[in-house]
Chain A
Amino acid sequence: MKKTTTYAAGILEAYEYLLSNHKEFFIIGQGLWSPWYVGATMTDLDKKYGKDRVIDCPISELATTGATVGASICGYKPMIVHPRVDFMLLAVDQIVTQAAKWRHMFGGNSSAPATFRAIINRGGEQGAQHSQSLHSWFAHIPGLKVVMPYTAKDARDLMISSVLSNDPVLFIDDRWLYEKEEDYTEIELIDLKDVKPRKLRNGNDVTVVGLSYTSFLCEKACQSIEISHKITSDFFDIRVLNPLKIDEILDSVQKTGRLLVVDGDWKSCGMASEIITSVLEKIDIKSLKNSPKRITLPDSPAPTSKVLEEQYYIKVSDITDALVQITN
């Protein structure tokens, strides 16, 4: 029987690998000694590796993030875990103004290679302050790498790459992916600088780009539209939002003449606009057969009522509808 794994198990495996093989790695965050905030991604790490390397901490997002930055400046490869993106916003100074700039403003004579892990908790009637993603805010910042895995393999391998990177990294995982199952593969060590968008489907009619949870939706939509409408897609999962690499996507759009980007965050100044603009700047506009399209969240904070949630979050049918439209 084939061995399988899940996204959450991938993250847990990354932690076990890092704690076993890298003594300079440690984790700090709220709730780590009873990690029910983080699904099955950190179960029993404190018991296996000790409370001095898996550190539960006071309710002080800014100071604990700053302490992570400080330890990273002193030779450690630490990670702070923020069980929700929303709470991490209390620590933005340390992420954006300290860690991201530390190497540059000291002329390369110092660096702050901390990893900030933040988790997106969509849905569940959690409302406006327990569900934000905001990855495009952070992808705006030079010096801060932003990683958002979609596959279980990437959740594991890119977490290892993020921690071992010599730059500060924001690693954002999505709870809606935790149960996603796939075939198990061995750990692949890869330098974060070499990570490019991963092509997960080959086709000729349209180029589709997703990231994190929207890659899950895109993959389903591409499958279903191929069966129902014989529309074939080149589908890419972005993986690293900053620095953004689009060379393969450019080649694909030149070929298909159509581009659809699906981003599970708000539209204005978002990742979808960044990807579309980066492509449009570099391709021959005459190769386009239709205007590029983006699917994003509506311009509203997340609602709590489940009826409105149903309307708020992107569905596979939104993507299949857009695929039919763009290929018409």
Chain B
Amino acid sequence: MNQKVSELTDPLKFRNKINIDGIETSLLIDMLRKMILIRKAEEKLSEHVESGKIKCPCHLGIGQEAIGVAVALVMRKTDKAFGAHRSHAHFLALNEDTYSLFAEVLGKYDGCSHGMGGSMHIVDNDNGFTGSVPIVGATIPIATGAALAAKMDKVGNIAISFFGDGSCEEGVFHESLNMASIMNLPVLYICENNLFASHLHIDLRQPSNSTSRFAEAHQISNVTVDGNDVVGMYKLLNLEILEVRNNRPFYMEAYTYRWKGHVGHRDDIDVGVKRGDQLEAWKERDPIKRLFEAMKDKGVYTENEYQLLLSEIDEKVNNDWAKAELAEFPEQEFLTKPVYSN
């Protein structure tokens, strides 16, 4: 199953439509809809970071939609997923609730965190998204502890930890993997390797661009995959998750690329080594285009249906944004109310 890292990091490779054999059309449409919703929601956010309506730091993951969607589709609602600073996709893949995300980013009370979190602190317990925070690596041990709780619950739930390649440079990442391995914890570690931590390319940060070597060191089963192939990841995780539910950690390193800069609406092509040369090439490895092309090619989805889906999603995103702009801010006394439970 492992794909070659040298090819995964080369934007000239993995451009073709993906293999969708053996997957029902309804599920393929589900994947497509979720990815487009995430893409369009983040484009809306990008537009309003630029317009100035959004003030909080927004780390956009345009181009990385496939990973969160593949994971969401193998999760139970009672599993616990944790994200980081770039987690809109993880959240939306589970609930498709653009209104609660938009309201949150605008600091409104209707937001998923009642306007107290902004883009970087989002949560949806009902759908298994248990929280995201922007301190790099901070949710890795938290997810590991959620896995310990899940193991004690003995009903086969698991924890999912989303993080980037930059997190692998934090000490707590190693502590957590060691702990999950020695304690046999049901945790799925998902490394979204987009080759950059903020502005700095992985080649300038680590002696190898493959983070799964750390899983290997801690004797955790692992796989290295094309992070822009939603079906490939779904098939793989659908199998591996059974073992995770049986109290065995698993590590998936998914190579991908973000089309925007580290934070905000700009492309940041002038920031960091290689980015300016490679961004346009990486856009050819578009996870949405590659899925749609495969569906069209196989005759399970038409161009018309696709256009209709795009306009339906546009409408939802526009309506939710307009509604979020009109929503109320938290009351003044809410500043101190959630500090303690009573």
Chain A positions within 8 Å of B, measured between CB atoms, are 26, 52, 57-58, 60, 62-76, 78, 93-94, 97-98, 102-111, 113, 142-143, 145, 165-167, 191, 193, 243
Q: A67-B179, A98-B135 are in contact. Are A103 and B339 (CB under 8 A)?
A: yes
The total of chain B residues at the interface (CB under 8 A) is 47
Listed by A's residue number, 6 A-B pairs whose Cβ atoms lie within 8 Å are A66-B145, A70-B82, A71-B145, A94-B142, A103-B340, A105-B117
The reply on B138 being an interface residue by CB < 8 A is yes
Contact B172 A66 (CB under 8 A): yes
Separation in Å of the A4 CB from the closest CB of chain B?
A: 34
The reply to whether A67 and B117 contact each other, CB–CB distance below 8 Å, is no
Q: Are B125 and A67 in contact (CB under 8 A)?
A: no
Complex interface: chain A residues within 8 A of B131 (CB): 73, 102, 106, 110
- Known contacts being A97-B138, A110-B125, is A103 close to B117, with CB within 8 Å? no
Expressed in whole angstroms, the Cα–Cα distance for A68 and B82 within the complex equals 15
Tell whether B141 is near chain A: CB-to-CB under 8 Å. yes
Query: Shortest Cβ distance from A111 into chain B, in angstroms?
Result: 6
Q: Quick one: which of B137-157 are within 8 Å of A by CB?
A: 138, 140-150, 152
Q: Which residue of B lies closest to A105 (CB)?
A: B121
CA distance A288 to B330 in the complex (A): 43
Cβ-defined contact, A69 with B145, below 8 A? yes
Q: Is the CB of A71 within 8 A of B149?
A: yes
| Interface pair A70/B339, CB less than 8 Å apart | no
Q: Which residues of B contact A94 (CB under 8 A)?
A: 138, 141-142
| Complex partner residue of B116 from A68, A74, A106, A243, CB under 8 angstroms | A106
Q: Inside 8 A of A70's CB, which chain B residues have their CB?
A: 82, 141-149, 159
B94 CB–A CB distance under 8 Å: no
Q: Is the pair A107, B113 in contact by a Cβ cutoff of 8 Å?
A: yes
Q: With a CB–CB cut-off of 8 A, which chain B residues contact A165?
A: 341
> B167 to chain A: closest CB distance in Å?
13
- In Å, the complex CA distance between A52 and B153 comes to 12
Q: How far is the CB of B187 from chain A (nearest CB, A)?
A: 10
**Is B285 among interface residues, defined by CB-CB distance under 8 A?**
no
> Do B179 and A58 have beta carbons less than 8 Å apart?
yes
Q: How far is the CA of A98 from the CA of B125 in the complex (A)?
A: 17
Q: What residues on A are CB-neighbors of B116 within 8 Å? A: 104-108
